Structure 1
Amino acid sequence: MSADTTPRPPRPTLSDFHGVSMVHYFTDNWEKVQNFKARPDDILVATYPKAGTTWASYILDLLYFSLRQPDRMTSAPIYERVPFLEMQIPNFMTGTDFADNLDTTPRLIKTHLPVQLVPKSFWEQKCRVVYVARNAKDNAVSYFHFDRMNFAHPEPGDWNSYLQRFMDGKMVFGSWYDHVTGWWERKQSCPEIHYMFFEDMVEDTGREIEKLCSFLGLGSTAEEKQQIRDLVQFDTMKKDDMANYSTVPVMDFKVSPFMRKGKVGDWKNHFTTTQNEQFDEDYKKKMKNTTLQFRTEV
């Protein structure tokens, strides 16, 4: 069945889950998620939703596997190559089962969980984590368009009320502010976390791939890195059905594509002057106790 003809489930409602706003699709399988057995060589891709998760997943998959086994890129969508740990959507294998069934070494696994909800085996096994953060304004805009087309999330409503909800942290996977700062604080005492910024990746993808290889201890050649850089250009990935999520039944591509623009600064096309002033004021309060800094343009 194509994604367009599959009947879509009703949209879920937001509820408080261990102090984080969630929907049941990401908590129904909670016991298995919490008891997930990580292996020492697993690599976890962690992000707040719409911060560059698929981009980072794709880069890692190419670095470890697909560059040397190109048929991987056409035989399985990225969400099977890098399964989404906490996902449990009807008629789909659960994220934990997908991860358990991976036969690759290392296993690449993705999560949107805030740092305090990550299964403890990842910390016990000292797994490496690649965290990607994106500035709040662009992240909010991207999340809004995503929620419009993703039936596994609540109805987004209009942009103005959505932005207020974003500021209040009433989003699936909770507050952006708590998420990015929680992971940032953990990184200070945890050398296994590599913290990347979406804006840096847009500005110089090659440089960020270099840093990632250095963190992972990978000796990729200059030629391989160039190949990867070409393959992970936004427009290339957007056209690739194995990367662009067009095969996922809960998403309506008639409303908006999963990969929309991939730019820095698109927030300027959405925020009114008033919204921007209110947002900046609120942002200062929420981010006053962290050393974490973002750029809203490149």
Structure 2
Amino acid sequence: MADSLQNSFTLEGVLFQGPFTEQSILEAKNFQSLPDDVFLCTYPRSGTTWVQNIIIGLYFGVDKVKASGAMDVVAAFPYLELQFPGGKFGHQIAEKIPEGQQRLLKSHLPPHLAPNDIFAKKRKTIVVVRNPKDLALSFHEFYQSNPRLVKYYDCDGLESFLDRFVKGDVLCGSWWDWTKAWVSKCRENPDSMLLIHYEDLQSSYEEIVDKITDFLSLTKRTPDQLSELKEATNVEEMRTRYKPSVFSFIINKGTAERWKTEFPEGFVEKFDSLTQEVFDGDEVQQKFL
């Protein structure tokens, strides 16, 4: 079973590496949802853990956030397509959540592999996107620190990794394909899907959390409650809670515009050119340039 946690394969045009199997992904795609399920869909390194903690705080209270280590978040917010040691799939953890408890469900899959119920049954879904240049820097570090991915890091350094990222030769495939497809889905389903930009959450935390709260039809938080939630979900607080865990590598720097000083020569132009080509004048591209 250990070998099955170290796979590298392509499924329907998307590369998967690490603790996934074709079965784990296809079973996540066919996951049977409940009417009040909430899905969080992100490309890796888009602020997933940050938003998970925020949503947990909105449903279960800030004290739950403060008491939650990495494994608590896994239990409260299962990663549907992941295969865990012992062979259990993330969706099986979700199915064990007690009746009556709010189910929060995470996925990194692109729309054509994502749970069908998101679209067929119009389940509430939050999609988080991030500037690809900052995301690629974080992903580069993630490949080197994640014990399930490090064996696939055969790059000579950052430039080599960025070349692979541009080609989509990384976990979850092309960021450009993934993001364009999900942005389109959000526009097609405005009542059931909410698009959040990582950078907006950084610059306008309270406003974006209010937007998430309204979308989920939850009670709006007071300024003091928002301040407490913001403190409990900042990078340093989450890093401290995750540090004792084998998942400590999940929390990175949580910054924006690091690419301005860290991108190798020529790569800003390479990324921006591809963004302009893929999004073809769409206003959303301004967030990614």
TM class by smaller structure: 0.7 to 0.9
Residues 147, 70 of structure 1: CA spacing in aligned structure 2 closer, same or farther, 3 A cutoff? closer
The answer for the alignment partner of 1:133 in structure 2 is: 129
Task: Please say if residues 43 and 128 of structure 1, whose CA atoms lie closer than 8 Å, have aligned partners that are also in contact.
Answer: yes
Task: Please say if residues 127 and 195 of structure 2, whose CA atoms lie closer than 8 Å, have aligned partners that are also in contact.
Answer: yes
- Look up the SS of the partner of 1:73 in the other structure: coil
- Opposite residue 92 of structure 2, the aligned amino acid is D
Do residues 155 (structure 1) and 147 (structure 2) align?
Answer: no
The answer for the alignment partner of 1:4 in structure 2 is: none
The answer for the alignment partner of 2:265 in structure 1 is: 273
Separation in structure 1 between the aligned mates of residue 65 and residue 280 of structure 2, nearest angstrom: 46
Q: Percent identity?
A: 26
Residues 211-231 of structure 1: CA deviation (Å, up to 9, x unaligned): 111111111330332221221
Question: How do 1:203-242 and structure 2 match up within 5 A?
Answer: 203-222=203-222, 223-241=224-242
Separation in structure 2 between the aligned mates of residue 120 and residue 189 of structure 1, nearest angstrom: 15
Residues 284, 9 of structure 1: CA spacing in aligned structure 2 closer, same or farther, 3 A cutoff? same
Separation in structure 1 between the aligned mates of residue 240 and residue 3 of structure 2, nearest angstrom: 27
Residues 40, 10 of structure 1: CA spacing in aligned structure 2 closer, same or farther, 3 A cutoff? closer
Separation in structure 1 between the aligned mates of residue 196 and residue 133 of structure 2, nearest angstrom: 17
Separation in structure 1 between the aligned mates of residue 213 and residue 65 of structure 2, nearest angstrom: 20
- Look up the SS of the partner of 1:280 in the other structure: helix
1:63 corresponds, among 58, 61, 72, to 58
- Opposite residue 216 of structure 1, the aligned amino acid is L
Residues 76-135 of structure 1: CA deviation (Å, up to 9, x unaligned): 521221110000032363201111111253200100000111121232332100111000
Task: Please say if residues 51 and 198 of structure 1, whose CA atoms lie closer than 8 Å, have aligned partners that are also in contact.
Answer: yes
Q: CA RMSD in A?
A: 2.5
Residues 197, 156 of structure 1: CA spacing in aligned structure 2 closer, same or farther, 3 A cutoff? farther
Do residues 22 (structure 1) and 16 (structure 2) align?
Answer: yes
The structure in which a higher percent of residues are helix is 2
The answer for the alignment partner of 2:188 in structure 1 is: 189
Do residues 118 (structure 1) and 125 (structure 2) align?
Answer: no
Residue 239 of structure 1 deviates from its aligned partner by: 1.2
The answer for the alignment partner of 1:263 in structure 2 is: 255
Residues 194-219 of structure 1: CA deviation (Å, up to 9, x unaligned): 00000001112111101111111111
Residues 184, 31 of structure 1: CA spacing in aligned structure 2 closer, same or farther, 3 A cutoff? closer
Task: Please say if residues 142 and 250 of structure 2, whose CA atoms lie closer than 8 Å, have aligned partners that are also in contact.
Answer: yes
TM-score (norm 1): 0.85
Task: Please say if residues 110 and 172 of structure 2, whose CA atoms lie closer than 8 Å, have aligned partners that are also in contact.
Answer: yes
Separation in structure 2 between the aligned mates of residue 19 and residue 69 of structure 1, nearest angstrom: 39
Deviating 4+ runs (over 6 angstroms) = 8-11
Total equivalences in the alignment: 281
Residue 170 of structure 1 deviates from its aligned partner by: 1.1
Residues 239, 74 of structure 1: CA spacing in aligned structure 2 closer, same or farther, 3 A cutoff? closer
